[in-house]
Amino acid sequence: MKTLMKLFLRHIVLLIFVFSVVNLLTFAQQAEQYELSSISFSGNNNFSDTELKLVLQSKENPWWLWRFLDSFTFLGSPPNYFDSTSVLIDIISLKSFYAVNGFFEADIIQNYEIDTSGKSVELEFIVDENDMFTFGDSKTLGLQNLSDFDKSKINQFLQYSTRSKFSQNFVQTNNESIINYLRNSGYMLSEYDSSVIKIDSVINKVHMTSFFTLGKWYNYSDIRIEKSGEGEQYVSDELIKYLSNINPGDTYKEDELFKSRVRLARTGLFNTVNLSPVEEDTSGSKVPLLIIGNVGSLNELSPEVFADNELSTFNLGVGASYVRKNFLGDARKLTVRLRFRVRDVTNLKFGAGQLDETFQSEIDLSTVIEQPFLFSRSIAGRLEGFLKSYRIFQVDYENFGAIFTSTVDMPSYTFVNLLNPFLRFERLTYDVPFTSIEGDSASVSPRTLTFSLGTEVGSTTTNDIFFPTAGRTLSLITEISSADVKWEVLDRRNSASEVFLDSLGFYLKLQLTYGSYFSISRDENTVLGIKVKSGYIQMLSGDPALVSPNQTFFAGGSNSVRGWKARDLIPKNPPDDLFPPTINEQFRIRGGIFLLEGSFEYRRKFEEQFGFALFADYGNTWNNLNEVRFDEIAVAVGTGLRYYSPIAPFRIDFGFKFYDPADKKFIFDKAVFKTLVFHFGIGEAF
């Protein structure tokens, strides 16, 4: 017993000693922490330093500004410290990275220099990449029962060039494409199992065998509905089946399930809805489809407080809306909405006489009927009637009309995946005071009645709505319009009015927008975005002055050239003699008939929800193609902060007039902060 007690005490003493030593060493290490000032590479001929740094567990110090901000705010980033144990893990990670990218014999060693006075470390990785391995023989097992047609479709994903560098990511992407094709061709249970690779170091080739499980081919035996929720009794099973657009006998396709889920969700009938095959009830090649939906209330009355960036200004407003779902059956949705908004809030001035000049408001009453299927279940329709009364730069506008828009459900594999034909009718009236008729005080009351038939076609391949890191967007809006214009001039001296203009014109309007996004870091937190936008109005008959002002092009604002406010960039001379240039410059009623603008934007997330941007914008508007001049293109540069909330990104942008076509001067010839324009926005600028 005494021996056991002595042994026990000895172990206790030993544990206390070890614990004390570990604590002393930990304390000493923390007391002598060295910042990792830089990480560099040599010998990396096939991969950039940026790509390799993303593989490492060790991280070099962030920029000094972020460390400074971290010392007193939540916006910065803390310093990073050198840890010798992390370096050993880094070498393993680098070798693994090289192996999965075709360099199986890469050799890596580390070297670091310690600055004891500055308490910092410079870390270097010396890389010997050795020979690159390319694809050799490639074969698959498990797909031999496919038809010749399916084999020919899948074969495109199995062609590996024997001259191409081996890449595990490339192989994985192709295998995922094969499974995607199979699951959209009836093979519901198909799976990719694994790949076995053999490395031939004599000829530097990688021979590969991929194993797949094909499973049976399935079609739907029946459609089952499970409903719940307070509105379940008002939505029939037959309507849900019709909306899903999936019928017994149809081939199982994963993409069709996704489209049906979207089609059902956008009716607004369901709080939640899900579609899934009932695998446990399969019989032969038959599988049931189960649709589970929680049907919410069919009547909603709700107040709202909102913010938006309509017309490239930051606006705040309040409103109320009533929604009736399944209106008159067939899943129609009726929405009646009343809104009041204050436009361009960031540029409001409250000094004497300034509020009246800068206060811009709008009252909007609208009624919308949405039909989830129109003519066929692949076409949705939307009819909106609106009545707006708003004020922009001391000019009061009255605008009412209606617009019918249809949305065509395009196949995912087509280049054009957005197709929205529309038909619009609207009437715009406004009053403008001026003193240009024979020196007498007068005002003009234009009225424009516009009918437009057009379509928007587009192609979108971006990988994220809020923070795209790859892909592009392309949109082309084409419309042909008639404009019935009547101008009444009131002579204030004798209160006599006269119809100065009463004419009908026709025009073609085109608007093209292209955006592209490139990730320039492997963590996909750094992105380069490029936007180009152009618009043109071609008169088919009549004068350009017949085009309604709200159909012309304006530049400047939070989503445009950010060194200028909204509507700041308009043509010097309006397209008619009745509107004096000074009046249009003061009230900014008419834009141009030709628009050119674009942006280059560098975006970086330094935290999951925070980021910053550096941008360069350019653009302007003109009333004639012959008037377009290179020295009349406005250029803005600036920076901004981003907060990526779960709802949408919020941004603050500070734009500077780098080159101002109004005086043909660059920013170097001016007081820099006098060229500053501040913008607040919701969502990215493009």
Shared domain for 466 and 612, answered yes or no, is yes
Which of 180, 213, 246 is at the close of a domain? 213
Smallest Cα–Cα separation from 495: which of 433, 430, 443?
443
pLDDT above 60 (res 309): yes
Same domain, 84 and 206: no
Cα-trace Rg, the chain: 33
Q: From CA 139, how far away is CA 150, in angstroms rounded?
A: 16
Are 306 and 336 in a shared domain? yes
Residues 6+ apart with CB under 8 A from 502: 485, 486, 487
Whether residue 163 is found in the same domain as residue 252: no
Local confidence band at 16 (pLDDT 50, 70, 90 cut-offs): very low
Last residue within a domain, chosen from 185, 213, 241: 213
Q: Is the pLDDT of residue 495 over 70?
A: no
Confidence tier at 442 by pLDDT (50, 70, 90): confident
Judged against a pLDDT cut of 90, whether residue 117 lies above it is answered with no
pLDDT on residue 440: 60
- pLDDT at residue number 386: 98
Do 472 and 346 belong to one domain?
no
597-621 confidence digits (pLDDT tens): 999 999 998 878 889 999 999 999 9
Q: What's the Cα-to-Cα distance from 60 to each of 67, 348, 601, rounded to whole Å? A: 12, 44, 25
For the segment 327-348, the average pLDDT, to the nearest whole number, is 94
* pLDDT of amino acid 622: 96
Choose one of 295, 330, 359: the last residue of a domain.
295
The string of pLDDT tens digits covering residues 500-534 is 788 999 999 999 999 999 988 767 788 999 999 99
Judge whether residue 498 has pLDDT over 90. no
Residue 65: the pLDDT is 72
Q: Which of 195-199, 387-391, 411-415, 559-563 has the lowest mean pLDDT?
A: 411-415
Q: Are residues 39 and 3 in the same domain?
A: no
Q: What token pair was written down for 637?
A: 């540069």
Find the mean pLDDT for residues 536-542.
96
Q: Are 134 and 204 in contact (CB under 8 A)?
A: yes
DSSP labels, 277-307: E-GGG-BTTEEEEEEEEEE--SEEEEEEEEE
**Which range has the worst mean pLDDT, 72-81, 221-230, 672-681?**
72-81
321 and 241 assigned to the same domain = no
Phi, psi of 374 (to 5 degrees): -140, 120
pLDDT digits (tens, 9 = 90+) for 356-370: 888 999 999 999 999
What's 446's domain CATH number?
Answer: 2.40.160
**Can you give the pLDDT at residue 631?**
94
Q: Give the mean pLDDT of 629-658.
A: 94
User: Do residues 193 and 304 both lie within one domain?
Assistant: no
Non-local (6+) Cβ contacts of 245 within 8 A are: 256, 259, 260, 263, 377, 378
Strands 299-308 and 191-200: unpaired
Give the pLDDT confidence score for residue 577 in this predicted structure.
Answer: 56
Is the per-residue pLDDT at 76 higher than 70?
no
Q: Is 607 helix (H, G, I), strand (E, B) or coil?
A: coil
Q: What is the pLDDT of residue 347?
A: 87
Q: What is the mean pLDDT of residues 255-267?
A: 89
Write out the residue range of the structural domain in which residue 291 sits: 219-295
Could you tell me if 80 and 206 lie in one domain?
Answer: no
321 and 238 within one domain: no
Question: How far apart (Å, rounded) are the C-alpha atoms in residues 229 and 273?
Answer: 11
Whole-number pLDDT of residue 438: 54
Any idea what DSSP says for residue 330?
T
Residue 333 confidence (pLDDT) above 90: yes
Sign (positive or negative) of CA dihedral 172, 173, 174, 177: positive
- pLDDT for the residue 375: 79
- Is residue 17 scored above 70 in pLDDT? no
> Which pLDDT score, from 0 to 100, does residue 9 have?
42
Q: Are 562 and 655 in contact (CB under 8 A)?
A: yes
CATH value at residue 83: 3.10.20.310
What mean pLDDT, rounded, does the chain reach?
88
Q: Is the pLDDT of residue 42 over 60?
A: yes
According to the model, what pLDDT value does residue 601 have? 97
Based on the structure, what is the number of domains in the chain?
6
Provide mean pLDDT across the span 304-326: 93
473 and 601 share a domain?
yes
Q: Pick from 367-381, 411-425, 636-650 the range whose average pLDDT is largest.
A: 636-650
pLDDT of residue 351: 79
Higher pLDDT, 2 or 535: 535
Distances (CA, A) of 507 to 85, 423, 424, 480, 482: 71, 15, 14, 6, 7
Distance CA 592, CA 576 (A): 12
Within this chain, do residues 448 and 496 fall inside the same structural domain, yes or no? yes
pLDDT at 381 > cutoff 90? yes
pLDDT cut 90: percent of the chain above it: 67
DSSP bridge partners of 553: 592
